[in-house]
Amino acid sequence: MMRKISLIISLVIFTFANLNAIEISKIEPPSWWIGMNSSTLQLMIYGKDISGANIISENSDIKVVKVHSADSPNYLFVDLILKNKLKAGLYNFKILKGSEEATFKYAFEKRRPNSGLRESFGPQDIVYLLMPDRFSNGDTTNDNSPDADEKSQISNPYGRHGGDIKGMINSLDYLKDLGITAVWSTPLLFDNEPKASYHGYACADYYKIDPRYGDNNLYKKFVAEAKLRGIKIIMDMVPNHSALSHWWMNDLPFNDWINKFSQYTQSNFAMSTHADIHASESDRERCVTGWFDTSMPDMNLKNPFLNRYFSQNAIWWVEWADLSGIRVDTYPYSEKSAIANWVNNILNEYPKLNIVGECWFSSPQEVAYWEGAAMNKDGYSSRLTSVMDFPLQEAINTAFTQGSQPGWGEGMHKIYRSLSLDYIYENPYNILIFADNHDTHRISETLKGDVSKMKMIFTFLSTMRGTPQIYYGTELMLKTPDGKLGHGEERMDMPFLNGISPGQKEVYEFARKVFNWRKDTKAIHSGKLVHYWPYNNLYVYFRQLNTETVMVVINNNVKQLTIDWKRYSESIYGYKTGMEVISGKTISTDKELDIQPQTSYIIHFNR
């Protein structure tokens, strides 16, 4: 359907150009749907000297409320009201300016059943984060594109390596077998920077999949194929900044579309200024208006037309591709009320959608400020349904590298103390937990390839409160061959199961077993967490839901330790036996249990 619509629009525009009539180059969003919760829609129309033109709907069920001119003479913003009686189909609009007249067609489609109440990802899932350029090359013919400046450079750690959507589709069975139930891909939209464009965070077109990955229809197929395998798809969205290569940078709609300075001004990255009652206004302003990078212009979401543009763009992708969630990049670098309005607009259409924000702070207090349900003293709500638990990520990395017999407050105490601050969150059970991601060092590098520690971390991520996220290749302990650290070096190509070492295979099989067990274990998805002070670097905690209890034991000591069942009696609830998930052995609470050094046990009790 969408391909036909695109062809119709392009043919109409081509006709306009040849008749020397009004020229239209772009209409965004490129299509819309009937039956949305909001009956309003704002079209951004781009064409030569169209400022001051009038737009007329040729259908009485589509009302043109207002036509806004912009600072540039080449834009119109058209406010529409869609009546409930409107049917799906292609509709004609007239654009009039003086003696000039033209017609364009616009498509309204029928929504999927219950689209507005779609279920999202959450603690019942394991999220797999992948970087498409480095994951799997399923189609070598699109490694380079005439539309893209940067060409394939497989030997360059900061170049394009050829991974694409076809490769992602081909890998879905691998992910399903691993036990993955949701996939978050770093951005797939067109990034046309001349170098290091593989990361995708400098968008050149918000309605176009990068041609080196495929096209919009192939992305839609990827989402559909994933759903057939019980895998949800989360889209990475970046409303904070676009790219110098974005088409509108040559002709901005409004002078304040982006934040401008007399000379290049980078953000001070002082995100704490949002909540800091002592912060200077100049520091706060510099954080949200400074550019993220030299190639990433900072978007001014306080401009109501831009905010509406990004809101509709997010809704368009959710509806068109049938997404199950959103991850928002660099959330606190936007003006906080404006970005909250963006989230609110999305949730008005999809009240059950999980939207997780990247709020990179080292303390739970700072992260919790951005949790949408937080009762902040200044009255602010981000509206985010979830945040990323960076404090716990840092605690994980520290806890498993401080030696096996750490001092007071070190080792597993780091994890315990981080979790002991969960009272600061309104819902700690819905936040995203992880040991590494595309912006951190790989946990495999941090652990220096220690298989035992990696298995303990997978035990922890699979059983702890929150939604676990696994970075691609971590299940294989993927690490640089020469120990070099850096974004390009550590974002290496995914080997899958080809030529991996026995240690990597051991970690993979361990992760696979635990991830698949987790799928149907309700106590892990929504059970209460009770944890115990980690004496001797032994960390024990329970997940409890009705008649089901899971006991997790992590012995990060170099010595064998013995479980004192009496110490945990309040959480055992009279259980006599349980199954140890990894070994399949029956564990009796009447018998002494020795825990080998550098190992973990998951004991599943069920009445």
What sign has the CA pseudo-torsion 416, 420, 425, 427?
positive
Between CA 143 and CA 198 the distance in angstroms is 11
Residue 18 has a CB neighbour count (10 Å cut-off) of: 7
DSSP secondary structure string for all residues of 549-564: EEEEEEE-SSS-EEE-
Residue 164, CA distances (Å) to 189, 217, 399, 475 in order? 12, 13, 36, 21
Of 430, 315, 314, 335, the residue nearest 380 (C-alpha): 335
**Which strands sit side by side in the sheet containing 538-545, from one edge to the other?**
528-532, 538-545, 548-555, 599-606, 577-580, 586-588
**Given the residues 23, 143, 191, 329, the one annotated as active site:** 329
User: Is residue 47 classed as helix, strand or coil in its secondary structure?
Assistant: coil
Of 590, 554, 556, 555, the residue nearest 572 (C-alpha): 590
Q: Where in 126-170 does DSSP place strands (E)? A: 127-130
The residues, ordered by sequence, that sit 6+ positions from 262 with a Cβ below 8 Å of its Cβ are none
Q: At what angle do helices 304-321 and 216-228 cross, to 10 degrees?
A: 50
Residue 271, CA distances (Å) to 50, 286, 333, 390 in order? 40, 10, 7, 14
User: Is residue 102 classed as helix, strand or coil in its secondary structure?
Assistant: strand
Q: Taking the chain, what is the end-to-end CA distance rounded to the nearest angstrom? A: 52
Interstrand relation of 100-109 and 32-33 (parallel, antiparallel or unpaired):
parallel
The contacts found for 72-75 with CB under 8 angstroms, 24 or more apart, are 72/251, 72/252, 72/253, 72/254, 73/49, 74/46, 74/47, 74/48, 74/49, 74/50, 74/251, 75/44, 75/45, 75/46, 75/50, 75/51, 75/253
358 is a catalytic site residue: yes
Does residue 552 contact residue 578 with C-beta atoms inside 8 Å? no
329 is a catalytic site residue: yes
User: DSSP class of residue 18?
Assistant: H
DSSP secondary structure string for all residues of 60-74: TTEEEEEEEE-SSTT
Residue 380 has a CB neighbour count (10 Å cut-off) of: 15
Interstrand relation of 538-545 and 548-555 (parallel, antiparallel or unpaired):
antiparallel
Of 314, 338, 341, the residue nearest 256 (C-alpha): 338
Q: At 498, give phi and psi (nearest 5°).
A: -85, 115
**Given the residues 358, 366, 371, 422, the one annotated as active site:** 358
> Which residues belong to the active site?
329, 358
